[in-house]
Structure 1
Amino acid sequence: MIKLIECPRDAMQGIPHFIDTAIKAAYINQLLEIGFDTIDFGSFVSPKAIPQMRDTEEVLSLLDLHHSKSKLLAIVANLRGANDASHFPEIDYLGFPLSVSETFQQKNTNKSIQAALEELEEIQNVCEVKGKTLVTYLSMGFGNPYGDPYSPDMIAGFVEKLDQLGVKIISLSDTIGVANPDLITELFQIQKQAYPHIEFGAHLHSTKETIGEKVLAGLKGGCERFDGALNGFGGCPMAKDELVGNMATEVMIQTLESAGHDLQLNKVELKEAMKLTQFVFNEV
């Protein structure tokens, strides 16, 4: 079954004005009613780096998880964040951004790729001890704007290293929205054939006009999970000055259902969440 991961954290993190904690929690609680596989709800990172997420622990305390089938994912950028997040039994997944671009790894986490890989190994150990699952995002997985080396063979090399560390979920991330359908299909086909035991996902950024073709390209290549945000809000504030929006979840839903996938979502609750986005993201 195809998994949808809704990412309010990614939608909110680049907004300069602080969104009230109660508003964040109310919005995520509404998302929890819809039936998404996972909610990427917050991050355990330095508040200096991502001030919008400084209240993640408080937001978590306000979430009503009793009647939701959705799991929770929190982003961490280092071992300290992983240790902090791992204390919360409500959190199922820890997400770690590993860039295939040396420049972006430095911009995003202030460390080299080699140092990030060493830290990722430690975070994987924390996850195994604490009963969490590590989701590794291969940032700039479809190219980068810095002129750093990039090729599909590089992606294969990174996946091989992650497989050796026991990572079970890898999300190929188009951080700046440059992926085309042919490359999307190619990358997923290569990785899925080589590592059928790994769950591969897509964290793509896109304009609304090209979302459908990118989702279909991912499906063709064997992608099993898709990240998105309602109305396509958000983007990576560390990538470049002009944010490229997330994949609009409502468009992905339409595309996936038209392709014959039953996502088992509560459309009434989805409609209510769509209304809330106008308040959460347009009134801050």
Structure 2
Amino acid sequence: MTQQQTIKLIECPRDAMQGIHDFIDTDLKAAYINLLLQVGFDTIDFGSFVSPKAIPQLRDTAEVLSKLDLGNTSSKLLAIIANLRGAEEAAAHPEISYLGFPFSISETFQQRNTNSSIAQSLETVKQLLELCSKRDKTAVIYLSMGFGNPYGDEWNVEIVERWADELVQNGAKILALSDTTGVSTPEKIKEILPSLVKRFEHTDPAKNIEIGLHLHSTPYTRFEKIQAAYESGCKRFDSALKGFGGCPMATDDLTGNMATEDLISYLNSKGELLNLNMDKWQEALRFSGKVFL
């Protein structure tokens, strides 16, 4: 009997690139993403249809998309949007499977990140889910500031669960609990994630709500967070090669993405079947030196 792959890896070159000040050449971006497409990740979070004024680095997302070789990959593409205009623009591209929206449970950060309130953003989510249904796309809703926030906005596990319930009731199928500023701890992960996974389990696996993690971390706390997530039942991990990137709206030089190589190493040690082309992965690692100077 063939062993089934149960872990979904989402590689995030978009998140890795978005905060870099100097513009990365479009052809260089496309060449890097083309390498990542050959590794075997479930999804590549490749670009953004957010205003170029907010994220100038990704103003060429549509052009990058036109240069991607999608004929020899099983990976699906995800693009980030911040409003309905961006969602409609992204949905016009048949190559894109997922539209990601950052829904913050911190009022302060929602205003900073998308220039809208939580209530307004919930309306955007409703419109996004309706659009995805019509255009054969799937929404990925990021529960941003899911582990706390530095702004003094109220946070507790009940608030996380309440907003998760609200999003699922409105039709969300994939939630990614997101640690925007690196404040998550193994203890918080183990407190929140298992109950959230169990909350949306269904007797029919096809109807399960997918709960993922988009963790940011300092290099010193990556492994303990990965271990806590895995032991808490996480089956969907966002990460970026070498831990590049983070959120440009929440600055901390040490806080980057989870490093994909750490994640691969840990999951391999647990005997997880990842089905990755490690030769292409090594090639992408080497090539990254041209992208992230």
Same fold (TM over 0.5): yes
Deviation at 1:200, TM superposition (A): 0.5
Deviation at 1:219, TM superposition (A): 1.6
Deviation at 1:242, TM superposition (A): 3.8
Identity of aligned residues (%): 59
Q: Which residue of 1 aligns with 2:251?
A: 240
**Contact 2:218–2:254 (CA under 8 A) maintained in structure 1:** no
Structure-2 change in CA distance of 1:263 and 1:241 (3 Å) = closer
- Alpha-carbon separation, structure 2, partners of 1:252 and 1:240: 23
What letter corresponds to residue 54 of structure 1 in structure 2? R
What letter corresponds to residue 222 of structure 1 in structure 2? G
- Alpha-carbon separation, structure 2, partners of 1:115 and 1:134: 17
- Alpha-carbon separation, structure 2, partners of 1:145 and 1:155: 16
TM-score by length of 1: 0.98
- Alpha-carbon separation, structure 1, partners of 2:229 and 2:279: 27
Q: Which residue of 1 aligns with 2:204?
A: none
TM-score by length of 2: 0.95
1:222 aligns with 2:222: no
Q: Where does the alignment leave 5 or more consecutive residues of structure 2 unmatched?
A: 1-5, 202-207
Runs (4+) of structure 1 exceeding 6 A deviation are: none
Q: Which residue of 2 aligns with 1:51?
A: 56
Match of 2:209 among 195, 198, 202: 198
**Contact 1:173–1:204 (CA under 8 A) maintained in structure 2:** yes
**Contact 1:237–1:243 (CA under 8 A) maintained in structure 2:** no
Deviation at 1:91, TM superposition (A): 0.3
Matched residue SS, 1:201? strand
User: C-alpha root-mean-square deviation of aligned residues, in Å?
Assistant: 0.9
Deviating more after overlay: 241-250 vs 270-279: 241-250
- Alpha-carbon separation, structure 2, partners of 1:150 and 1:276: 40
Matches within 5 A, 1:115-154: 115-154=120-159
What letter corresponds to residue 152 of structure 2 in structure 1? G
Q: Where does the alignment leave 5 or more consecutive residues of structure 1 unmatched?
A: none
Match of 1:3 among 8, 12, 25: 8
Cα deviation code 1:170-210 (max 9, x no counterpart): 00000011111121122111111111121010000112222
Q: Which residue of 2 aligns with 1:97?
A: 102
What is the count of residue pairs matched by the alignment?
282
Deviation at 1:243, TM superposition (A): 5.8
